Amino acid sequence: MSVCVRRVTIIVTCMSRHPGGAAQAANRTWQKLQLPAARKTLRLYNLPMISCVPVIRSLFALSVIFTEAALAQAYVLPPGNAGLVGRTETVITSGQETLADIARQFNLGHDEIRLANPEVEFWLVPDGTEVVLPRRHVLPRAKREGIVLNVPEMRVYYFPNPCTGNENCELLTFPVSIGRMDWQTPLGETRVTQKVPNPTWTPPESIRQEAERDGRTLPAVVPPGPDNPLGAYALYLDLPGYRIHGTNRPSGVGMRVTHGCVRMYPEDIEFLYELVRVGTPVQIVSQEIKLGWDGDTLFMELNPPLEEDYRSMEELKKEALLELEKAASERPFTLMGREFLHAFEDLNGIPVAVGRAVLTD
């Protein structure tokens, strides 16, 4: 079941032998949460779902954090080790929409939606164009607690409570911007040390010198307000100078445009800011190749490597095969060779089914 709305998106993964029953449950959930009307032009692909039973009950507990000001992809994972969330969807454009408008509306980043729609003009989308919404994600290989940032994917995953695998687990995910090649976002484990509303920005000397070389002058201190690149909220990390924060230039979310910090849409950072506590663990990983099971189907998600991590296509294929070998040692499967090769032709961040589990008695 997937319910897509203009201001709030709530996605519950569950399987029913009677699709009509799932639809009725969706409608009841929708009415109970009093969400806005769905966009009628949205079409969902009929993809496999993860089975669960008490998921709707967990959703109601999670739903209290939603407001009409928030735009998030929220999921409730069933017990176990589900490796895939969401669905690939399409939407038909209307009016004067751009891909940037659609990306922000559906909680996607600039590069995400551009890679999924290579034939669509980014700033001039003809009326009636079918746009792919890449809202299906393989979860990164990381501890499922706190904040997980996958740098090449330019996406944050937030687990409000640690996932033990023994009970339902809530997950929210947001697109982000990361550091440019000369200002890389650092990898590793850290934590949130401070939460600051309406932050003041004190540009480091290195950034002020860079601005001078570009013919710009930065003040020593930028007060809160529309000219502050940190936006209205900031989560400070236990890495000097690095933060997860908002922005005064939301069109750049989902691109490599920062000086190493993690930038979010204004509505997303406001949402996340209210949920995150000081001390929340943060894992920053770099995983272009991700594998995840959905039932008996193994999916692979490929994201383009960062410029400084460039490898040839053949090298990427070799790395992916090594990852598949590891996965096969844990759970045997039959590789779908044609689909595996097609994934490298697209390299668009959309998960592709590449394996079927070998069933044993």
| Residue tagged active-site, from 169, 245, 259, 342 | 245
Kindly report the CA angle at 123 between 117 and 132, in degrees rounded to 5? 25
245 carries an active-site annotation: yes
Task: Give Rg (Cα) of the chain.
Answer: 20
Our answer to whether residue 261 is catalytic in this structure is: yes
The span from the CA of 318 to the CA of 322, in Å, is 6
Question: Which two three-digit tokens encode residue 197?
Answer: 């509303």
Q: What's phi and psi for 173, nearest 5 deg?
A: -140, 145
H helix intervals, 64-177: 99-105, 110-116
Contacts of 52-59 spanning 24+ positions with Cβ under 8 A: 52/12, 52/13, 52/14, 52/15, 52/76, 52/78, 52/79, 52/168, 53/14, 53/78, 54/168, 55/12, 55/13, 55/14, 55/168, 56/12, 56/14, 56/25, 56/29, 58/168, 58/170, 59/10, 59/12, 59/29
DSSP letters for 271-330: HHHHH--TT-EEEEE--SEEEEEETTEEEEEE-PPPGGG---HHHHHHHHHHHHHHHHHH
Rounded Cα–Cα distance for residues 107 and 180 (Å): 22
Quote the CA–CA distance of 318 and 335 in Å, as a whole number.
Answer: 14
β pairing state of 2-4 and 256-258 = unpaired
Cα–Cα–Cα angle for 219, 223, 226, rounded to 5 degrees: 100
Instruction: Please identify which of the residues 14, 163, 169, 261 carries the catalytic annotation.
Output: 261
Catalytic residue numbers read: 245, 261
